[in-house]
Structure 1
């Protein structure tokens, strides 16, 4: 890039940034009125996980007109892309992962030449479209493949209600290119709209407000949606199924299958209070409504922060609202992640670390400091385990700023981004004071609303608006060490020393031979700490004592059940196998499923036959991104409908 061209684009970015700030609060702005979000030109904003070349030509708006076909497991129709281009640009490069392209024309219906390049096993393929001098719009007619990596098609029997099939998408990090032909990079923010046709009697929801009332005619229903704010492409999401809605407050509500809706609504009763608490901390909620979609149990994540409509796993429904910090986390993403978004997956921590910090602050505001301190302590435990699992204190993937070049960006994702990132922000807060830190954080979201951000932008902003040249504070904070170096710096601030003292003492006593403690008055977090602090190697009779005391094989809290099943697998505890099989075949949350099946697969004599049997039953039930990771284990089909369980 020449110096003159660099100067031109720098000026264009500055102008776009100013205009984006002017338009930022206009949730009702139409796509034609919205200003293009800025594109970053610095080296650290180069997205190695996308084929796009946005400095030459970029997508600014996506209009989808699609039909959902459950029989063929395809989404098909057209994607109309508005583009912003350099005058001399000869082509635009999109991201493609298995799309079946029928034709590409310009806005005047003139055919355009296009070519799908060589496939990368992680990223898919570049889709290069030749541009005429006056091309400003592409119309792409296409179909998604039946095995599209973002989409899971469920039969009625695989849903909670068992009445109708179900479809949902999961786009983060780079899977939306398997059903939407666009530039699938978080640094290329786009406004979008969609018209979706589904079988009559089914309901479609998307991560945008409805722009018209649904229409049913013949054998189909038509739903329309419109997102006026520019968002990262991975935030475009869809779900179709037997769905019902219940209001939770003036701007909050829950969608779920009718069989799940009452329990989901009860669990989510504090959602409106969470929005109020988050606004108090971080400034106005800028997305209009905040609704939650509770999906069938196959959903691979705890939650996904799709704008206006968080997608959530039903495994957070414990009956006592003890796991709703999950919703606090996804709500916090409305600021950290959705408002100011990592420009590339190297800086995933800017989404997740800031959100985890904010989640704990919302929890503290609603449920008290003790609860927040306990969740922080559990987070530090998770961070320490992630450091160990990622090569120890010198492991490259224990850095906040990652290098995902040459691999799928999900490979770099771990609790480091979440918990080391949150610990970093708590450490800054402790050094400057909460009031001063909150003022900076509100300013961060205001200054970078609807924009991509990088670690460098974050550090520059901290230095300009918080450190302000104070060399002593700069030295104390160890900013660059936290972001760019592996391990956990020594200045990390920890929760109060007495946090979980009772549970830690009880775990030590049980390990020494004492009876199982009475935990009836303990919270879920306290029970988790106790189980996770037990030795990893425990004799059968001591596991029997735990099972007899707490009925862990049948416990309904999925987080506690998972902590127990980790001990079951690690100790070849046969009485836990029926519970393990039921757990792994009834939900598909990757956080639970992947570690347990991987641990089973490593135990060739005892565990691998169990893993093979379970995976044979569930590979069409788990989301493709979970299947992708488990397929690396090369689990064979059981020889004769599976090796028999060793459970009595």
Structure 2
């Protein structure tokens, strides 16, 4: 009777240890994104991009740990062709299911096992399109390419567990034709040239959410210096004036980061920087970790726009170091970054925080919530401006000393991790020593204007 239970050399009992990992983390704001059954520890990416043919070839080495017994698992990868997959150096079966790369290793992976996946792939990358959120991800440019976008972009250029709930460290190696710059996240690790191609190397040693990765290739004026003992790399597209407002704004990166560190606690990463691009299709700025990317529209005036720099640098704490566990809590990123704009503007000689608060309070549509605003409204004013109002309401309720101690403690306790609104409210109540949920409910989700604290 026992012989009937043998399946491919395993007993029925043994076979039940392994099952497929989920092909979706279950975030309703981003159906299909992320995967279950494992946690990624590190990505090592070797990318080669030829702008002439718009072709990318890549080798991704993904080091992960199984969180359950896995018979197979998925990585997110959109549109590119996979040539070979190895799991722990053994050939693994693979197939595509839409934007999922489904991998079946030669043997089941027990819970707790650390394993290494090597994926060889290539093709002509395409952006990821959403009717509600627009295009994100890899986009070819006249002189190179830009990989950028929120809430997703990474899966357009490498295989990834594409959800901020699974953060990992990165080594990124990018090879491009001589004369082009290839910028990415983290600490610069040098360049080498061979046979008409230059390889640029970058390393991000702090855990990073996948949408915070970036790849910017093209003709850029690069400035490399040191700030507070860490490398500071800024780059401005050659289409923008050499000494224009973009360059002037990025030149204040270290100063603005220091201002924010005085209020939020130590800068959380090993490098600073920023990239001002010239591609008019990019109408936003994004807090890509250690090196925010700014669209050209922010630098049209004669004066440097340092407000947007303050916003994106604030995200290095709120959003990058402490990341979202789910997209419905995006106000935790944007409300605090918007509030940082108010703080910086006051410090830099502009309107006061009190003035900004009063103006936004009077102009706010209180029927639109900051928390769980809906997928189509996740980048709406309620998330940014009402979120900032809630931050200042907290400050007024608990006082400056408790408020800034609360922020510094929150960021230190949650550094390199993820969080939810409930986590933040619970922490605030613990530090303040008083109930605060009614205040947060009124300022974040109540349908009428809350009373001023």
Identify whether the pair has TM-score above 0.5, normalized to the shorter chain. yes
**8 Å contact from structure 1 (residues 353, 419) kept in 2:** yes
SS in 1 for 2:289: coil
Which residue does the alignment assign to 2:322? 340
1:273 to 255, 262, 283: 255
Aligned residue number for residue 450 of structure 2: 490
SS of equivalent to 1:90: strand
The alignment yields a C-alpha RMSD, in angstroms, of 2.5
How far apart in 1 are the matches of 2:394 and 2:414? 19
Deviation at 1:450, TM superposition (A): 0.7
Structure-2-length-normalised TM-score: 0.83
Moved over 6 A (4+): none
The alignment status of 1:114 with 2:74, answered yes or no, reads: no
CA separation of 1:377 and 1:99: change in aligned 2, threshold 3 A: farther
1:189 to 162, 167, 170: 167
Structure 1 alignment gaps of length 5 or more: 1-44, 120-124, 156-164, 388-392, 494-648
CA gap 1:268/1:329 in 2 versus in 1, 3 angstroms: same
| Structure 1 CA distance for aligned equivalents of residues 275 and 292 of structure 2 | 6
TM-score (norm 1): 0.59
Distance 1:249 1:489, change over 3 A: farther
Q: Decide which of 43, 47, 57 is 2:38's aligned counterpart.
A: 57
For each residue in 1:366-406, what CA deviation from the matched residue of structure 2 results, as whole angstroms up to 9, or x when unmatched?
Answer: 325x354555456557x63xx4xxxxx54xxx2222165xx
Per-residue deviation, 1:304: 1.0
Deviations 1:472-517 (A, max 9, x none): xx47x5223444x353541257xxxxxxxxxxxxxxxxxxxxxxxx
Tell me, what secondary structure is at the counterpart of 2:292?
strand
Taking the TM superposition and a 5 Å limit, the aligned residue runs for 1:165-564 are: 165-211=143-189, 213-246=190-223, 250=227, 252-258=232-238, 260=240, 261-263=242-244, 264-318=246-300, 320-321=302-303, 323-367=305-349, 370-373=351-354, 375-376=356-357, 379-380=360-361, 384=364, 387=365, 393-394=366-367, 398-402=368-372, 404=374, 409=375, 412-466=378-432, 468=433, 470-471=434-435, 474=436, 477-483=438-444, 485=445, 487-492=447-452
Task: Say whether 1:130 aligns with 2:90.
Answer: no
- Look up the match of 1:139: 118
CA distance in 2, matches of 1:231, 1:192: 8
Unmatched segments (≥5 aa) in structure 2 = 1-24, 129-136
Aligned counterpart in structure 1 of residue 127 of structure 2, from 148, 154, 171: 148
Once residues 153 and 170 of structure 1 are traced to their aligned partners in structure 2, the CA distance between those partners, rounded to angstroms, is 11
Distance 1:219 1:269, change over 3 A: closer
The alpha carbon displacement at 1:464 in A equals 1.7
CA contact (8 A) 1:50 1:183 kept: no
Q: Indicate the structure (1 or 2) with the bigger Cα radius of gyration.
A: 1
Higher strand share: 2
- The separation in 2 between residues aligned to 1:144 and 1:402, in whole angstroms, is 37
Task: Quote the Cα distance in structure 1 between the aligned partners of 2:127 and 2:425.
Answer: 38
Note the C-alpha offset of 1:339: 0.9
Q: Do the aligned residues in 2 keep the contact of 1:167 with 1:240 (CA within 8 Å)?
A: yes
**TM-superposition CA deviations, 1:45-93 (whole Å, max 9, x none):** 9533254676522222111111112133232211111111035222222
**TM superposition shift of 1:313:** 1.9
Q: Count residues with an aligned counterpart.
A: 410
Deviations 1:319-355 (A, max 9, x none): 5436320111011111111111111111111111111
Shift of 1:410: 5.6
Contact 1:352–1:418 (CA under 8 A) maintained in structure 2: yes
